Amino acid sequence: PEAALWMLATVPPFWNFVVGQTGALAATLLAAGLLLLPARPLLAGAMFGLLAFKPHLGLLVPVALLAAGYYRTIAAAALTASVVALASVFAYGVEPWLAFAASLSKFGAFALADTNAAAYKMQSLFGFLRTFKVPAQIALAAQALLACALIALTWRLWRRPGASDHAHDLKAGILLSSAVLVSPYAFHYDLTMLTLAQAFLLRHALAASDAPATEIPQRDLIVILAVNALIMIFPPLSVPTGFLASLVLTAALLHRLSESEPVLLARFASFCAPARAAYRATS
């Protein structure tokens, strides 16, 4: 209960409450699926399937599930999403789906337009670059490169079986923070993902520490304060500093994972070695 209160005191739930959006629901479904995954894979799949209402926030989930061999979870997610979609058609007809499809192109054109003065609300690399007037196609290319790197990282982290329960907490936190980074359309209310990524970080830290359960380790407290300060200051600066917060939190989780499971990141480093060598050769 104390940990839950700490998480409610972070900044992202406040932004989600202010704008009345679905960020808390999406973050809860993804985090619940990750929490249930080792012991209740079918129920975890149901959570992931319900996240289908915001598919861009679950882009890394099938990568992780395929890498770890959770095929029953994939089937449960697909079945859940299909049942919910069919139920919506039965209840409301196909008109909402047609309207949704029509709105996608309109929103995409608005997000790419040079007249988009609200680009700073997109807490992604794309939004960060667009805020500083980087051309849309270059910003999209940079976002695509980042997405490819996150997909490769997710695959390597989840590929190795037999990792400890504590390592699972860190991998779950990394997937939550990466879910915000992988899509160009991550808004300030979607940063609630970071609240639950911080929860997984604390869950790991407190489980591995001899300190009382209500005492947050100092280095984790520093990370949490930095992450939430970055999220808090984006409106007055009109800069998507939530993107920087996602990077800071992902780096902190990766550092903690490198301490508890060094083989995981060592294999990822060897996997990326050819790409680094090619980059150095061309530059």
Q: Please report, as a single letter, which amino acid is at residue 13.
A: P
Which of 119-123, 143-147, 236-240 is predicted with the least confidence, judged by mean pLDDT? 119-123
207: pLDDT strictly greater than 90: no
Residue of 77 and 9 predicted with greater confidence: 77
pLDDT in tens, 184-205: 988 889 999 999 999 898 888 8
At residue 258 the predicted structure's pLDDT band, cuts being 50, 70 and 90, is: confident
Which of 36-40, 76-80, 163-167 is predicted with the least confidence, judged by mean pLDDT? 163-167
Distances (CA, A) of 89 to 47, 84, 95: 20, 9, 8
Count of positions (residues) in the chain: 283
* Closest alpha carbon to 199 in 259, 257, 265, 253: 253
Are the beta carbons of 26 and 192 closer than 8 angstroms? yes
114: pLDDT strictly greater than 60: yes
pLDDT in tens, 146-178: 999 999 999 999 986 555 566 899 999 999 999
87: pLDDT strictly greater than 50: yes
102: pLDDT strictly greater than 90: no
C-alpha 269/C-alpha 172 separation (Å) is: 20
What pLDDT does 75 receive? 96
* Closest alpha carbon to 64 in 193, 166, 178: 178
209: pLDDT strictly greater than 60: yes
Over range 115-136, report the average pLDDT.
85
17: pLDDT strictly greater than 90: no
13: pLDDT strictly greater than 90: no
* Closest alpha carbon to 188 in 235, 130, 139, 251: 235
Q: Indicate the average pLDDT of the chain.
A: 85
* Closest alpha carbon to 175 in 125, 228, 250: 250
Which of 42-56, 83-97, 225-239, 266-280 is predicted with the least confidence, judged by mean pLDDT? 266-280
Residue of 265 and 50 predicted with greater confidence: 50
Sequence-ordered list of residues with C-beta below 8 angstroms from that of 226, at least 6 positions apart, any chain = 245, 248
Neighbours of 70 (CB within 10 A): 23
At residue 264 the predicted structure's pLDDT band, cuts being 50, 70 and 90, is: low
Distances (CA, A) of 123 to 5, 119, 134, 163, 242: 25, 9, 15, 31, 5
4: pLDDT strictly greater than 80: no
At residue 279 the predicted structure's pLDDT band, cuts being 50, 70 and 90, is: very low
What pLDDT does 70 receive? 95
* Closest alpha carbon to 234 in 127, 78, 103, 148: 127
Over range 94-98, report the average pLDDT.
92
Residue % of the chain over a pLDDT of 70: 82
